[in-house]
Amino acid sequence: MIRPSNRLASLTVLVALVLPVAQAMAQQQVPPAPEASAPTPTAAPIFPQTDPANFTASSPSKETVNAFLQTNWGYDEDRVWQVQAILKTSVEGISKVVVFLGDKTGKQKPTGLQFFALPDGKHIIAGDEILAFGVHPYADQRALLQQHADGPYRGSASKDLELVEFADFQCPHCKEAQPNMEKLVADFPKARIVFENYPLPQHPAAFGAASYGVCVGKQGGSDAFFNFAAAVFDGQDGLNTPDGATLTLNSAVTKVGLDPVKIAACAATPATKAIVDSSIQLAKDIGISQTPVLMVNGRQVPIGGISYDVVKTIIEYQEKLDGITK
């Protein structure tokens, strides 16, 4: 029986399920790079031969695991993998899955990943995270977002291609992601691009900014909201003090032609707080623990950590998976 390496941290699995091979390996603990004098690999990795003795679990099937990995990794044409084992564990119905991962160019040294498939056939445990699993792993989250992601939106009224951004007005990475969000508006005119508030507790002004945004959207509509959001992100440093936050938010409200006094009064109501809390709960329900995150028809993409070209490629790939024609 094989002995999977114990150096596989949970984040390795989580990152590798989303990011390109090069980035996933660059950010995690992996075997040391070859010495400078070593020849540069130019061929795809040769994985160890699989052993039928390492496939002792009846579920999930190798075909299901491969379909799941194809859904997650298929956007990257250079990525290659091999399901190395699907093993019974001491807990009835829970199986250990071991995968070897590399890329066709051979530039990245192959590594191993492992996760545990749960008896429901719809979830896996990767490190300390529970992730959706199966041939269509994003279907449930997509349905949840279609039903409950009701924040301001740009683009199409149709939810065939729905891009839901979860962001925090006081999060520097969220500010950095905004130019990419603008590019998505231009590159995917048929998409419905929704903003959902996810103010993090470590940002003291974020909840108030989110509340202001809710009221701007109510009183001025989506166009006013997105102009307000751009102004707040532009003046984000002003949120670092209570007085600065008030000035920054009131200035953004004024820029979109609304009354700061009325918006402040609206933002202070229990009804507005409940709307922000509902958006936070939606983020938690679909497993979001950081910002910014973009949900692409239920697929989680950490837009703060990858290039725009990769984000665009993932969206185009998800369109194909969901049968969306341009």
Q: What are the pLDDT digits (tens) for 58-86? A: 999 999 999 999 999 999 999 999 999 99
Return the closest-CA partner of residue 295 out of 170, 202, 165: 165
- Residue 167 Cα distances to 255, 288, 322, angstroms: 21, 11, 25
Q: For 208-223, what is each residue's pLDDT tens digit?
A: 999 999 999 999 999 9
99: pLDDT strictly greater than 70: yes
pLDDT of res. 46 = 85
pLDDT of res. 15 = 42
Alpha helices, DSSP H only, in 5-161?
A: 10-16, 21-26, 62-73, 139-148
Collect all residues with Cβ–Cβ distance below 8 Å to 278 and sequence separation of at least 6.
148
Distance (Å, whole) CA 128 – CA 111: 20
Peptide linkage before 260 cis (omega within 30 of 0): no
Instruction: Provide mean pLDDT across the span 297-325.
Output: 93
pTM for the predicted model, two decimal places = 0.85
Architecture of the structural domain at 140-321: 3-Layer(aba) Sandwich (3.40)
* Tokens read off for 69: 């990995």
pLDDT of res. 13 = 42
Burial 10-25, CB ≥16 within 10 A → b, else e: ebbbbbbbbbbbebbb
Peptide linkage before 60 cis (omega within 30 of 0): yes
The one-letter amino acid at 242: P
pLDDT of res. 128 = 85
Distance (Å, whole) CA 1 – CA 84: 11
Instruction: Provide mean pLDDT across the span 267-290.
Output: 96
Q: For 255-275, what is each residue's pLDDT tens digit?
A: 999 999 999 999 999 999 999
Alpha helices, DSSP H only, in 155-234?
A: 172-187, 206-234
Q: For 142-194, what is each residue's pLDDT tens digit?
A: 999 999 999 999 999 999 999 999 999 999 999 999 999 999 999 999 999 99
- How much of the chain, in percent, has pLDDT values that exceed 70? 87
Whether the CB-CB separation of 199 and 167 falls below 8 Å is answered with no
87: pLDDT strictly greater than 90: yes
* Tokens read off for 86: 């699907």
Distance (Å, whole) CA 54 – CA 73: 23
In the chain, what are the domain boundaries? 10-137, 140-321
3-state secondary structure (DSSP) of residue 223: helix
pLDDT band at 42 (very low <50, low <70, confident <90, very high): low
Distance (Å, whole) CA 131 – CA 288: 11
Residues present in the chain in total: 326
- How much of the chain, in percent, has pLDDT values that exceed 90? 78
pLDDT band at 33 (very low <50, low <70, confident <90, very high): very low
- Which position has the token pair 């959001």? 229
Collect all residues with Cβ–Cβ distance below 8 Å to 290 and sequence separation of at least 6.
302, 304
